[in-house]
Structure 1
Amino acid sequence: MTSAEKTQTAQVSSPAGLDLPALKSWLDTNHPGLVAGDLSATLITGGKSNLTYLLGDGSSEWIIRRPPLGNVMATAHDMRREYDMAHALAGTEVPVPQMIAYCADKEVLGAEFYLMEKVNGVPYRYKQELEPLGARRAREISIELVRTLVKLHQVDFEAVGLGGFGRPQGYLERQVKRWKTQMENSKTRELPGADELYELLAANVPQDSVPGIVHGDFRLDNVLMGPDDKPAAVIDWEMATLGDPLLDLALMLVYQRRAKIVADWDSTNKDELDVTLAEGYLDEEEIISLYEQESGRKLTGFGFYLGLACFKLAGISEGVRFRHLNRQTLGEGFENAGYAVPLLLELGLDAMKEYK
């Protein structure tokens, strides 16, 4: 797993949140022969939620994931959910890493965790990473991203054994309530517009949503792109569930809207996910058109989904801010956590009026 953001790492014997002797003992007992020697690990920086490490034994390398330190939402950071989703999608048209081991025993590392294969690919995060490839390749990469999202949304979740994975009925209503709860539980300041957006969303929940697999945070840096500019693996399934897949598309577009607005504010901001601003990358109208064409679904009433995506991203960002202020984050890049929350709430209120 490589990128200018995610490979800025510091090697330590046992990084915070990862007890290597305890991990090796568990692997030797439960997966004998997997590990050939002493383990070393590196915390991969850049993530703002679950902790991700590069693990090695001198001859092989894997990726290990565990929840963040400190208190988290009861329904968030479910390692079993990530593991089961990726495992179920193996063999479909959606590329995923091979799942290797899952541990529910919190005595081992202080939290559940799982081990997966290390996939060679690039999770493009910033415009400066994508633009050297040229506008044509940037366009093709963004096209492949949208097509991969459509493939995910077209997976028959019953056929791949995920029928009991979630509750599609009432998903959108629960999402509105969930991110309201997240905002309340992570409150460190007054946020004008939060209550108004919540009330608008609660009063306008679509009643005819089509169920499918929802990734929960689908964007370019959660897809490892191979050297052929094709997706090598979709990663970070921590918020995956069954529900209305249009929320995935909306959240992807909200990231793009936010990046453009922040760039207009401050072009020197180095913390913003601005890869969608690279020359050649599909704009919002092109993405929606391609999604409709590939999926055969018309995006009527899409303004609600954009508003909910803004509310969700605001809730996630405010949660990261809360953990940072309470010194529960590891790695760098958290200094400006939550800075765009007021903007997202404003965007959400405006978005509710769109795509009627």
Structure 2
Amino acid sequence: MTDIIPVRSGEELDIERVHTFLLKNLPEIPSSLPLSIRQFGTGASNLTYELKIGKWEAVLRKPPLGPVAPKAHDMKREYLILKTLHPMFPIAPKPYILSEDLSIVGSHFFIMERKHGVLVDTEFPPNIKESKELGKQLSEQMVNTLVQLHELPYKGTVLEELSNPKGFMERQVFGWIKRYERSKTEEIKEADYITNWLVKNIPQSNASTIIHYDFKFNNTLYTSDLDGLTGLFDWEMSTVGDPLADVGAALSYWCQADDPDLLKNGLGEPPITVREGFFTRKQFIESYAKKSGRDVSQIHYYLTFAYFKLAVICQQIYFRYHKGQTTDPRFKYFHLYVKTLIQHATAVSQEPNKVR
């Protein structure tokens, strides 16, 4: 969330309406100063904007343009999740206010705390010296954060009302298959195999925890010396469910040096995890198992599903581009990455003992 750009064409907000809303609902804002709006350039799903009035600053988060998948991009749900999580997990941003008034930005939206820090995505910051030790340190921090999240209590909170842990993986598998069918723009020969395999091999979930479900480096901010996290973002898919599904989702973004080029380069530059010293996926799994005490013997299923789920997310984004609902050039070749992910999911499903 440090990649700040001018607002992209077609994604502008009505600055006067936003300004009026802020002054009416957040009394701490100085009324005599103008509002400036810029956009966070990272992220390919929800739209996120930096708001500044004098020294006051915040973040506005809203759904993408055009029709969205059912139950997706639910701003009220994400707002309530953050409201519950922030007091016990401070790296989750503090939400300020939710608006369901469509006349302001054309959709529901919420305003939240603006966190600052260093984004570690495809490169190290220029002031940081790359090393094997640093790669290991960052890997450990990511594992530790996931373990800590999975230890948080959820019973008696709004998360219990917003979630239904029973039958979680069944709903996930069938739900994401339906999303794929609704957003499909071409036939991929491996898709039938992998959807059938996922349905036939659903594991029994033995635990339920709070999960982030989109856990990756470019959803985090770090301190300037990379010694700890200052923020964890994009809680849209967070719920109470199988923690191994969260681990699988994290690993689907965790590329390593010996991965196929199309997997590493599918969304642009390879992620930082391909650098020397970073955990392999196997090392990540082993570290998580040791620190959490959980049985990870079926992790190949969760990783297979995670690759398919990521393929569907990218397919939904490409569908909007294909239909002209967005003109963002980043999405032009997403369909190629979708095919790569489905093919890779197929390969992982066929090698249960070879998660590297």
Normalised TM-score (structure 2): 0.90
Question: For residues 34 and 305 of structure 1, do their structure 2 counterparts lie closer, same or farther at Cα, with a shift above 3 Å needed?
Answer: same
Q: Distance in 2 between matches of 1:309 and 1:268?
A: 18
SS at structure 2 position matched to 1:276: helix
Matched with 2:179 is: 182
Is the CA contact 2:211–2:239 (under 8 Å) kept in the aligned structure 1?
A: yes
Answer whether contact 1:46 1:333 (CA < 8 A) is retained: no
CA distance in 2, matches of 1:59, 1:137: 34
Q: Measure how far apart 1:88 and its partner are.
A: 1.1
1:204 aligns to what? 201
Inter-CA distance 270–170: structure 2 relative to 1 (3 Å threshold): closer
Q: Which of residues 106, 109, 130 in structure 2 aligns to 1:110?
A: 106
**Structure 2 spans left out of the alignment, 5+ residues:** none
* CA contact 1:95–1:233 (8 Å) conserved in 2: yes
Match of 1:43 in 2: 39
Matches for 1:248-267 after TM superposition, within 5 Å = 248-257=246-255, 260-263=258-261
CA distance in 2, matches of 1:107, 1:89: 29
Q: Provide the secondary structure at the position in 1 that maps to 2:98.
A: strand
Pick the aligned partner of 1:139 from 129, 136, 139: 136
Paired amino acid for 2:29: L
Change (3 A) 1:97 1:192: same
CA deviation after TM superposition for structure 1 residue 260, in Å: 4.9
What corresponds to 1:242 in structure 2? Answer: 240
Identical residues among aligned pairs (%): 32
Q: CA deviation at 1:291?
A: 0.2
Q: Is the 8 A contact 2:80 2:158 kept in 1?
A: no
The CA distance in 2 between the partners of 1:60 and 1:351, in whole Å, is: 48
1:28 paired to 2:23 = yes
Moved more, 328-337 or 243-252: 328-337
1:103-140 deviation digits (Å, cap 9, x = unpaired): 12222211111111111112311045598443322221
Match of residue 126 from structure 1: 122
Aligned residue in 2 for 1:288: 285
Identify if the C-alpha distance between structure 1 residues 111 and 240 changes in structure 2 by more than 3 Å, giving closer, same or farther. same
> 2: CA distance between counterparts of 1:243 and 1:273?
29
| Mapping 1:223-238, distance limit 5 Å | 223-229=220-226, 230-238=228-236
CA distance in 1 between counterparts of 2:264 and 2:217 reads 20
Q: 2:348 aligns with which of 340, 348, 351?
A: 351
For the 8 Å contact 1:41–1:55, the answer to whether it is kept is yes
Secondary structure in 1 matching 2:251: helix
The runs of at least 4 consecutive aligned structure 1 residues that moved more than 6 Å come to 266-270
Q: When the two structures are aligned, how many residues end up with a matched partner?
A: 350
SS at match of 1:75: coil
CA–CA distance in 1 between the matches of 2:269 and 2:179? Answer: 22
CA contact (8 A) 1:70 1:323 kept: yes
Offset of residue 161 of structure 1: 4.0
In structure 2, distance between residues paired with 1:56 and 1:330 = 27
Deviations 1:324-355 (A, max 9, x none): 22233365522322322122112222222415
Deviations 1:251-306 (A, max 9, x none): 2212224875343x598877144211022111112111110111111202112111
- Measured after TM superposition, the shift of residue 145 of structure 1 is 0.8
